[in-house]
Every structure is written in structure tokens, then in C-alpha cells.
A = this chain, B = another copy of it.
């Protein structure tokens, strides 16, 4: 257990990707295999899907409640994605960082920009891209739960979102899940060794 006397500040790892790049799969697996990485539970206005649990997968709220929290500045970032709103509760995030714990945020480009602006030295941004655009198209079409118009809409949005990768710190080209996980793990471990995150008291080594 780390706490306010921890040798370093907590890190906010942000994972973004165009839809279909495999971000959710990587994110879920990462929370299982990377030691000391916590999940962030987002607020959302969309309805729970099969098997999703309140407080574990999301905090499900009404549109009115979401707007109220956003206006009272309780959200560290928020975005509207395909008709629903998603947001990250600020209090939980601030506590995690202050206590020297690390958290993984699975958020979109708009949200990533807000976190990077509000937590410039604590946020580490990682973009996930499929090896080629054709691969992305294949993955999206294989889901096939949507109309052609909806797929075209997602593809167009994915292509736009992909343009954002130069704003990020790291790029993972996701060909094999196992390789991508190894890479994400290396990023997490390396960022934990950054001198800039050390708290003053580490300087005690000198004496």
C-alpha cells in the first residue's frame, strides 16, 4: 500500500484509440496483469449493457444528473461519444494521484486533451492504432451488429480520431494483444522510474 508519504506521485495513464483498434480489450487485460494499476470508473448517461455492474463498470446516471455534476466541476474530463456522455469524477482521480497510486483511463481524444491540460505532469498519454486502416475496417465490420450507415459513420469517425496520435506521448500499433500488453507494461514501468515524479523526500539518499 502506498500513501501520501510514497516516494512518487501517482500517474494517470490515458489510453485512447479510434473505435475498432482493440483498446477496450487491451485496457481490461492490462488491469489484470499490470501490478498496481487501478481502473477508473466513469460516469455515463448510456444504459447499462448486458452484465455491466453499477459502480464497477460505470456509474450510470441520467442526463440531468450528468449535467449537474459537470456544471459543479465534479468532472476532470467529459465527452459526448455517439449520443451518450462519459466523464471522469475529479475527486477520485485527485485522491489516487496524491496517494502515489496509478490509474488507467480509457477515454477518447477530447477527454485526453482535458486531462493533459489539467494534469500536465501526471498524465501519460498512449494511443493505440491497428496496423492498417483496412484492418480497422475489417474489425468493425466483423462486429456486424450495426447498419451499414452506422458502420460508415464509425469508420469516418475512426479515421478522424486516428489523426490525433501525434498529440500523444506513446504509440502502440496493436497487431497482437500479447505484444501490445508487453508494450503497455513497459510504458507503465518506465514512467514509474521518471525522476520528475519523485517527491522531494527522495533526496534523503544524499545524507
Contact = CB atoms under 8 A, between A and B. Distances in A.
A180 to B, nearest CB: 10
Contacts of A191: 190
A25 B110 CA distance: 45
Interface residues of A, number: 29
Interface of A: 127, 129, 132-133, 159, 162-163, 165-166, 168-172, 182-183, 185-187, 189-191, 193-195, 198, 205-207
Given A159-B206, A168-B195, 15 more contacts: A127-B195, A133-B206, A162-B206, A165-B195, A171-B194, A171-B195, A171-B198, A172-B193, A183-B190, A183-B193, A186-B186, A186-B190, A187-B189, A187-B190, A187-B193
